[in-house]
Structure 1
Amino acid sequence: MAVSAHPYAGGRIGLATIHAKERAIAPPFRRLIDAKVVVAPNLNTDILGTFTGEVPRPDALVETSLLKAELVFRTMDVDCAIASEGSYGPIDRLPFNAGGLEIMAFVDRRRGIRLVETMTTHRTNWRLMAFEAGDPSVPQAVKSLGFPDYGVFVIRGSVGGYTVKDLATVDDVVAAVDREARRSEDGKALVVADMRAHRNPTRMKVLRALAWRLARRLATLCPRCGAPGFGHMLSPRGLPCEACGEPTHWIDFEVDGCACCGHAVARPRSDGRRTAPRLSCSACHG
């Protein structure tokens, strides 16, 4: 299919960001569907939550990313919008390891298309460390986070407290730690990796990979109505047990569909499995 045949070719897509995410998101959309991603002007996306917890998210990640995309239509005369949300921190089962989840939402208000793509990652420098005033280990700890190429926050006392951002030098960080630790009730200040995209090159790479995934999805047109975004919608469970044939919790097959006309096609698992291991069957091991 020629790029010029795509419904979005030559059009503009608004992007909700104040953290330079266009550097990661614009290239895939230009390359795959010939659409120009433009940052929405006069839009403060921090009203829907901040990484430091000063402003809590109004809803879960998926819902918040869709809300953020809808904000684009307040300041731009476009039909399509993109927004992303991310969450980083310790992994529940591995508290000494960090991971992240990125959500990217696309809304086409004219066609009624609302798509969300996700990506989990272990590629992150996220870390949280507590220091008292005068702690001599602060400079080395900050450098271990990749500073100054990677940003850091200094937070008074606890997450959600007063936050110092956009620190430029190690001396600035040390001074902020000393000052905020003395002002906090517990005598400590937190140093946290800055996960805002423009201050975190690793997160920017994850966003770029996710943008390629979303752009590829939109480049796929519905075979029935020609709308963009035909792709994975459901993963029904119930793959039969290899021993007794009873349904298990394993995914049985995949369903690709269209958000416009509702056309859907079932396809087998990508690994070709037709039965689930006996050990996964509750009927055999109930």
Structure 2
Amino acid sequence: MNTSSDYSIGEPGHPWGPDDKSAWLSLQSAKRSYQVLVESRISSLHDRFHVECYAELHYPSGHYKLYAVSSQDWNPELPSVLITGGVHGYETSGVMGALHFLEQEYESYAETFNFLALPCVSPWAFETINRWNPLTIDPNRSFVADSPAQEALAVVQYLERRGLSFLAHFDLHETTDTDNSEFRPALAARDAKAQDHWEIPDGFYTVADTSRPCREFQEAIITSVAKVTHIAPSIDGRIIGETLQQPGVICYDGIGLGLCMGVSNAPYVTTTEVYPDSPLVTEQDCIAAQVSAITGGLDYLLSK
């Protein structure tokens, strides 16, 4: 178990108050640039895509524009695909994978699908390499109406304004060693509630939505990604504590938990999970895995 006593902030047995949250925020600092690494690449897409700022985040620690990149000639006769990255800002390959797909792979599918991509949902967390936003809220438990997380609320409201129906949604994530060394201990301390401990799986896996598991869709993604990196083995039939549903795949209740993968009405939904801390992979391997997950899923949809 991870407990509140494992963390330097807060009093064991007591949930964090405003002072504790301020103490946590004071320890955070920018370690990379959203403008340089993300905004500049999105700006370069203007000639090929429709790019818009769908919201702005205003925090005392910084102001950020959020961008949506979509097919320039949106065809209402074609099925539409949603791609989200950077819901957890520290999960780097999700952001870079979404951008790489738009830059390098989009044209192969442009005549068959409409695409809407939100490459970096949580820019402050991207810069500070965090799971939470500055208010110690996890955006990926906050995709609900009246969300307490600005990042999630902006996505929910934007999708409502667009009024789109999606065939598929790819939500690009990572599982890192810091999930156990930093983020789960911080969660235990913030809520004064012990957290189950699990081993971080070495390899790629997906999380399907319990209400729409799409077994063949998940299998196609796993098969595609296996060509560029290894798939996570189960430990006693589980991955991150959840029962394995099929090789490399577990399930969560995306809608009930307020996860990003629950935000769309798509019948085909997946959350990808890359493991960047494996000694067997490079940063480029992780990005390639995210792109392969998207293309593998799209190729499956094309085969139906």
Q: What TM-score does the superposition give when structure 1 sets the normalisation length? A: 0.32
Give the helix-richer structure, 1 or 2. 2
Q: What TM-score does the superposition give when structure 2 sets the normalisation length? A: 0.30
Give the strand-richer structure, 1 or 2. 1
Q: Highest CA radius of gyration, 1 or 2?
A: 1
